[in-house]
Amino acid sequence: MKGLVVGAAGMIGRKLVERLARDGSLRDEPIEALHAVDIVAPSPGKTTFPIVCEAFDLAAPYVAPKLVAGRPDVVFLLASIVSGEAEADFDKGYAINLDGSRALLEAIRREYILSGGVYKPRLVFTSSIAVFGAPFPEAIGDEFFLTPLTSYGTQKAIVELLLADYSRRGFLDGVGIRLPTITVRPGAPNKAASGFFSGILREPLAGKEARLPVADSVCHWHASPRSAVGFLLHAATMDTRALGARRSLTMPGVAATVAEQIEALRQRAGERAVKLIRREPDTIVERIVAGWPSRFDASRAESLGFSAERTFAEILDAYIEDEHVHIDA
């Protein structure tokens, strides 16, 4: 079993590599080798198998063929420019999120042709709930049409279509997973428009101020980094015959308002932590978030074995446990 993780230096990619290193196997097969790449070289921990870590720009034309030349059995395509950055830098968003992704699909198709149709890897693509756009029903099912209202959502939706077509043609075996907003993200804030959902929890837990740019009534769909890794691993190992032609699924999550997030913080860390949240409305972020859905019917994904937390308190507890957060009594 050989694996390729594109976007391995990002938060989810890093946690995925750590989990693969800990498990040492995938699809009940020992991992023979892993190739981990990103715009900066990943720095994984100790592994029981060889791992090659390299820095590449997926938008560069020579990169995709190089990445699949070794014919990995499973490819995790996580690399992307986050929502806020894709909206601010149109060219960069399309170069990475669309052109880079298509280049990887094309490189796989060429290896398929060169192998006489023998090479057909499983490709797991991280899509997003941003592929949907308002107006929304009460809860969005997988049958709801894709009308994204951001460049980021548009780029993800296009790759979903490509993934389905390349799978239909037999060049690869693709699974697209539409991730909820992953909360709580450890580390430094990023440029994602949704970053404040993590910031209003992560920063106060560390004794720092956090900026809240939207109203407490804003409701959103969340899952933990722990669940995100579980989604990826299940997508890499599931029987894809049950997917049929619809290769992308909305992942399970928790619908929670900002007020409910803050209450979970209050229950875990007290009023002192809550007082570190600074309300500073931002019209740009408000507009972007207003175009996102807040509740989903993820029954199709759940019927296929995907699972996540059931309450926001569980999401916050996962962060505290996984990141070894100390809370002063």
| pLDDT at residue 233 greater than cutoff 70 | yes
Give yes or no: residues 50 and 136 share one domain. yes
Range of the domain at 33: 2-180+224-250
Task: Name the amino acid, one letter, at 56.
Answer: F
At 151-190, the pLDDT tens digits run 999 999 999 999 999 999 999 999 999 999 999 999 888 7
Say if 121 falls within a structural domain.
yes
Q: What is the mean pLDDT of residues 135-150?
A: 91
Say if 24 falls within a structural domain.
yes
| pLDDT at residue 59 greater than cutoff 80 | yes
Query: Which alpha helices (H) appear in 47-150, and where do they start and end?
Result: 63-68, 83-88, 90-93, 101-114
| pLDDT at residue 329 greater than cutoff 60 | no
Question: Residue 289 maps to which CATH number?
Answer: 3.90.25.10
Question: How many separate domains does the chain show?
Answer: 2
Which residues are bridge partners to 166 per DSSP?
none
- Residue 72 has a pLDDT of 98
Confidence band (pLDDT; 50, 70, 90) for 291? confident
Assess whether 152 carries a catalytic annotation. Answer: yes
Q: What is the mean pLDDT of residues 21-37?
A: 94
In 3D space, the residue among 48, 42, 43 whose CA is nearest the CA of residue 26 turns out to be 48
Which of 112, 119, 152, 166 is labelled catalytic?
152
Which pair of structure tokens corresponds to residue 230?
């579980």
Confidence band (pLDDT; 50, 70, 90) for 146? very high
Confidence band (pLDDT; 50, 70, 90) for 9? very high
Give yes or no: residues 90 and 127 share one domain. yes
Read off the pTM.
Answer: 0.94
Q: What is the mean pLDDT of residues 75-85?
A: 91
Over the chain, what is the mean pLDDT? 94
At 95-112, the pLDDT tens digits run 999 999 999 999 999 999
At 187-214, the pLDDT tens digits run 888 777 889 999 999 999 999 999 999 9
Say if 176 falls within a structural domain.
yes
Place of tokens 């900026």: 211
Say if 191 falls within a structural domain.
no
- Residue 44 has a pLDDT of 77
Give yes or no: residues 102 and 46 share one domain. yes
Give yes or no: residues 79 and 35 share one domain. yes
**Class of residue 317 by CB neighbours under 10 A (exposed 0-12, middle 13-18, buried 19+):** middle
